[in-house]
Structure 1
Amino acid sequence: MNLFVIGFGYTAQRFVARHGGAFARISGTVRSVDKRAQLAPYDIDLFDGTPPATTTLAKAAEADVVLISVPPGPGDDPSLTAFGDAITTGRARRVVYLSTVGVYGDHKGAWIDEDTPLAPEHDRVQARVRVEEEWRARIGDRLAVLRLGGIYGPGRNALVELRAGRARRIVKPGQVFNRIHVDDAAGAIIGAIRRDSGGAWNIVDDEPAPPQDVIAYAAGLMGITPPPELPFDSAELSPMARSFYASNRRIRNINSKRDLGLVFAYPTYRAGLNALWADGEGR
C-alpha cells in the first residue's frame, strides 16, 4: 500500500514511526522547510494552503490510504479545497480523518457515544463537523473519522509540564476529560485502515478524569509537591484553553474496541504516565 499524509503532526509522525512498515511508499505534506528536513527519509512536499504542485496532487491520487492530520482553517478547509478532487477520484480505499471529541459539545458530565448528536459550540469545532460532512459527501464509506480525546505521550505529558514549571492544577468542579495516549491513537489509525468499511469512532481512554488529578498523579511519580489548586473562575487562560473547559462529558469507547480491534496499551492516564515515567520522561 502507498500512504499519503496531509500534515505530519505529533500523531501522524508517531503513527508512521510505529506502523510505517505496513506501507511500500510513504509521502505527504508539511508546512515548513524545517519540518520537511526532519522527515527527510520520506517523500515530503510543502503545502501551506496555496494550490499544491501537480506532482503532489498525483501522489495523493495514487495513494491507497490517505491520512488527514491537519485542522480546518477559519473559512474553507485548505486540505479539502486543495486535495478533495484528487482524493475523491483517486485510488484511495481508505481516507482517515483525525477529528476531535469536541464535536459533541457539552453534556454536563453525562456519558455519550457515537450515536450522540453532534452539537459543536465553537467555531473551531463547528468547522470540524463541516469538514467531516464534506468528506463523507465526497467519498462515502471510504471515510473513517477518528474523534480523538486529549492526546498525550512522549514529550507531551504532565511529567514534562511539571519539570518545566508550566503545569497548573486548574479546578472546575465536576469537570472531566477523556484522553488518549498517542500510541493508542496510532493503533486506532491502523485499525481503521484495515477495516473493510468506514465510519466514525471515539478514540478515548477508559477513564475520564479531572485534569487536576492527572497533575497530582504525575507529581506523585516524580516525588514532588503538586502545584496548588487554582479555581477555574480566577485562572488566567487563553480563549482556546478556556474553550476546552466549556464542554464536560464522559465518552464511551466500546465501538472503537469492537470495530477497530483496538486494545489499549494505556487504558488510563495512570497507565500512560507510569510508562512515560519509566521511560525517563520528566526526569
Structure 2
Amino acid sequence: MRIFIAGATGAVGSRLVPLLTGSGHDVFGTSRNERGRAAVDAMGVTGIVMDPLDATSVRAAVAQAKPDVVVHQLTALSGMSGNMKKWDQEFAMTNRLRTEAIDHLLAAAQASGVRRFVAQSYGGHWTNQRTGGPVKTENDPFVEEPGKEAKQSWRALKHLEDAVTTAAGIEGVVLRYGNFYGPGNALSRRGEMGELIRRRKIPVVGGGGGVWSWIHIDDAVAATVAAIERGAPGIYNVVDDDPAPVAQWLPYLAEQLGGKKPMRLPAWTAKPLIGEFGVLMMTEVRGSSNAKAKRELGWTPRYPSWREGFRTGIG
C-alpha cells in the first residue's frame, strides 16, 4: 500500500516508517521544514514538506503521495514542562493539530480518494469517565468534566475522534494510546519526566488512587501497523494489560530510575501546586482496557505490564 504519515519524524512516526517499509509498503512522510524532510528521506522513504495548519499545503502533499492510507501522528510535545496547572497552554499547538490539521487532512484524503485514515488519540487516564470501575472500554463515554485546566484539550480530542469516525467515504480508525514510555520519550532515563521522578518532583497525592494505563512506544507502533493493515473502522485503546494506580507504579518507577521513593502529599496541599486537574489525575482517573485491540487487531504487547517495561524497556 501507499501510506502517508503526517508527522513522520515524531516519536511514533519515526519508528513506524521502518516497520512499514519492511513490510513492503510505499511510505511518504511529512515534516514541517526542509531539515525534517531530509531526515525522512534518510529513512529511505519519500519526504514531503507540509504545513499541517495550511489547507492548501496539506491538500498538495496528499495529492503528491496519492496514498491508500493517511496516518495522523502530529503532535507538538517536545519541551513541555509537565505543569498540570497549565495543561491547555502546553497542549495549545497539539490541540490545533487535533482540530484544524485533522480537518485539513480529512478533506485532502477525501479529495484524493483515500480509503483509510488512522489517527492518534489518547486513552491513558484523564479522558475516561471517573465513576464505576477502575478500567474503561471504548464503549464507555468520555469524562464530562475533565478539570478546568484541560477543557480545551478535551474538546480537541473529542473533535478528532468524532471527525475521523464519521468522515464520509473514509474507513476511520482512532488509536487511543496510553501513556508512552521508552527510548526517546519524556519518560525514559534521560527524559524530562524521568528526571522529575528521579528527583522526587512528582509526589503521590492523597491515596494515589488514580489509575493510569501505560504503553511502551514500540508496542504502540506495532499496534499502529496492525491498524493500518487490517483494523476495522472504529476506536481502539492501545495500552498494556495492567492498568494501575499511581500509588503502585510511581514508587516502582522511581526505584527503576535510581531515585528515592516519591513524597506523599495530601490533596489539599497538592492542589495549589498542581491544580484541580493534577489532583484528579493522581486520585480519581480511570485506566483503559486493551481487550478490543488485542482481539480485533491481532496485536499483543511485547511488554504486557509496565512492571516489566519499566525494568527492562524504559531506555
> 1:131 is matched with which residue?
160
* Greater shift in the superposed pair: 37-46 or 202-211: 37-46
**1:171 maps to 2:200:** no
**Identity value in percent:** 27
**1:97 maps to 2:102:** no
**1:78 maps to 2:115:** no
**1:217 maps to 2:252:** yes
Shift of 1:228: 2.6
Taking structure 2 as the reference length, the TM-score comes to 0.75
Shift of 1:234: 2.8
Q: In the TM superposition, what whole-angstrom CA distance separates every residue of 1:109-131 from its partner, at most 9, and x where no partner exists?
A: 53321121233532212221122
What residue identity is the alignment partner of 2:53? G
> 2:29 is matched with which residue?
28
| Separation in 2, partners of 1:234, 1:77 | 35
| Separation in 2, partners of 1:77, 1:200 | 17
What residue identity is the alignment partner of 2:63? A
Shift of 1:32: 4.5
| Separation in 2, partners of 1:242, 1:39 | 40
Alpha-carbon distance change, 92 to 240 in structure 1, aligned in 2, over 3 angstroms:
farther
> 1:2 is matched with which residue?
2
> 1:69 is matched with which residue?
73
Shift of 1:240: 7.1
Tell me which of 54, 64, 83 is aligned to 1:50.
Answer: 54
Shift of 1:24: 3.7
What residue identity is the alignment partner of 1:263? T
Please, which runs of 5 or more residues in structure 2 have no aligned partner?
Answer: 76-93, 146-150
How many residue pairs end up in the alignment? 277
> 2:298 is matched with which residue?
261
CA contact (8 A) 1:179 1:205 kept: yes
CA contact (8 A) 2:52 2:97 kept: no
> 2:309 is matched with which residue?
272
Taking structure 1 as the reference length, the TM-score comes to 0.83
Which runs of at least 4 in structure 1 moved beyond 6 Å after TM superposition?
none
* Greater shift in the superposed pair: 104-113 or 202-211: 104-113
> 1:181 is matched with which residue?
216
Tell me which of 123, 131, 155 is aligned to 2:184.
Answer: 155
**Matched position secondary structure for 1:267:** coil
What residue identity is the alignment partner of 2:164? W
| Separation in 2, partners of 1:231, 1:30 | 44
What residue identity is the alignment partner of 2:118? V
Q: In the TM superposition, what whole-angstrom CA distance separates every residue of 1:143-195 from its partner, at most 9, and x where no partner exists?
A: 11111111111132254444575552332422111111111111111111222
What residue identity is the alignment partner of 1:45? V
| Separation in 2, partners of 1:76, 1:99 | 8
What residue identity is the alignment partner of 2:292? N
| Separation in 2, partners of 1:36, 1:168 | 37
Alpha-carbon distance change, 50 to 86 in structure 1, aligned in 2, over 3 angstroms:
closer
CA contact (8 A) 2:206 2:264 kept: no
Shift of 1:58: 0.8
Shift of 1:75: 9.8
Could you say what the CA RMSD is over the residues aligned between the two structures, in angstroms? 3.0
| Separation in 1, partners of 2:297, 2:234 | 10
CA contact (8 A) 1:103 1:126 kept: no
> 2:225 is matched with which residue?
190
Q: In the TM superposition, what whole-angstrom CA distance separates every residue of 1:74-111 from its partner, at most 9, and x where no partner exists?
A: 59822233222220233433211111124433236533
**1:145 maps to 2:174:** yes
Alpha-carbon distance change, 141 to 253 in structure 1, aligned in 2, over 3 angstroms:
farther
CA contact (8 A) 1:205 1:266 kept: yes
**Matched position secondary structure for 1:154:** coil
* Greater shift in the superposed pair: 108-117 or 158-167: 158-167
**1:59 maps to 2:64:** yes
What residue identity is the alignment partner of 2:128? Y
